[in-house]
Amino acid sequence: MTTYEQLFENNRQWVAQKLSQDPDFFLKLSREQRPDYLFIGCSDSRVPANEIMGLDAGEVFVHRNIANVVSNTDLNVLSVINYAVEHLQVKRIIVCGHYQCGGVRAAMESKDLGILNPWLRNIRDVYRLHAPELNQIPDDTARYQRLAELNVLEQCINVIKTAEVQQSYLEKGYPEVEGWIFDLHNGQLIDLKIDFKARLQQIQQIYNLTGQPHH
């Protein structure tokens, strides 16, 4: 395990490396950020947003929580989406889950998990919505993997439900919403190929917050 003191030495080495590559790196970094991506991911320590995307500091706006949930009662994630869309004008919002997600597995355990109960209920709701499909998967691991994928899908839908995303897309043509899975076994990102335009059209039949008539 890395010691606390080592973290500062690591930082000094990182600074030196960045300056050797670009003497103006921190001058550029200190200017206003303009990332093209908002990444909503899991807090799991094995899923570092910038690294798995191959992006540097300043290139991705990040929000992480247990099991990459977008809840309509969570002012934290809703504030992040608002800031990313209204002020940073990101072009894509990525919801990224991962296989072997502890939050997904915990949600399916039949026990009292205290303060985690209301949070994990969001994932249990995903299971309830997709129970016919999930219950047909006999293998526990395969079922949890599919639930992780379906959780990403439903959280993407929750992002699309927000007024900021609907209004910005209508006015500017962005952001679009993407759903990914990170496979811890091989380090690869999997695009779940969410059909954003089709999903938006479906959602606006009920959740139209644009002030414009649904077509």
Query: Can you list the alpha helix ranges (DSSP code H) found in 54-139?
Result: 75-82, 102-107, 116-129, 131-134
Is-contact 56 50, C-beta < 8 A? yes
Decide if 186 is inside a domain. yes
Mean pLDDT of 9-34: 94
Residue-level pLDDT at 91: 98
Is-contact 210 204, C-beta < 8 A? yes
Q: Which of 24, 31, 36, 42 is catalytic?
A: 42
Decide if 124 is inside a domain. no
Q: Which of 12, 24, 36, 46 is catalytic?
A: 46
Residue-level pLDDT at 209: 75
- Say what the alpha-carbon torsion angle 108, 110, 112, 116 is, to the nearest 10 degrees: 0
Sign for the CA dihedral angle at 206, 212, 213, 215 comes to negative
Q: What values do phi and psi take at 200, rounded to 5?
A: -60, -45
46 is catalytic: yes
Decide if 212 is inside a domain. no
Mean pLDDT of 104-117: 90
Q: Which of 63, 96, 101, 156 is catalytic?
A: 101
Sign for the CA dihedral angle at 19, 20, 22, 24 comes to positive
pLDDT in tens, 24-67: 999 999 988 899 999 999 999 999 999 999 999 999 999 999 99
Decide if 93 is inside a domain. yes
42 is catalytic: yes
Decide if 189 is inside a domain. yes
CATH number at residue 43: 3.40.1050.10
Query: With 80 as the cut, is the pLDDT of residue 14 above it?
Result: yes
Residue-level pLDDT at 10: 96
Residue-level pLDDT at 55: 95
Q: Which of 44, 63, 146, 156 is catalytic?
A: 44
Number of structural domains (the chain) is: 1
156 is catalytic: no
Decide if 114 is inside a domain. no
Query: With 70 as the cut, is the pLDDT of residue 149 above it?
Result: yes
Q: Which of 12, 36, 96, 98 is catalytic?
A: 98
Q: How confident is the model at residue 208 (pLDDT cuts 50, 70, 90)?
A: confident
- Any residues with CB less than 8 A from the CB of 71 and at least 6 apart, and which? 77, 119, 122, 158
Mean pLDDT of 177-183: 98
Decide if 147 is inside a domain. no
pLDDT in tens, 70-93: 999 999 999 999 999 999 999 999
Q: How confident is the model at residue 172 (pLDDT cuts 50, 70, 90)?
A: very high
Decide if 8 is inside a domain. no
User: Mean pLDDT in the chain?
Assistant: 94
Boundaries of domain holding 171 = 16-49+57-101+156-204
Would you say the pTM of this structure is higher than 0.75?
yes
Query: With 60 as the cut, is the pLDDT of residue 215 above it?
Result: no
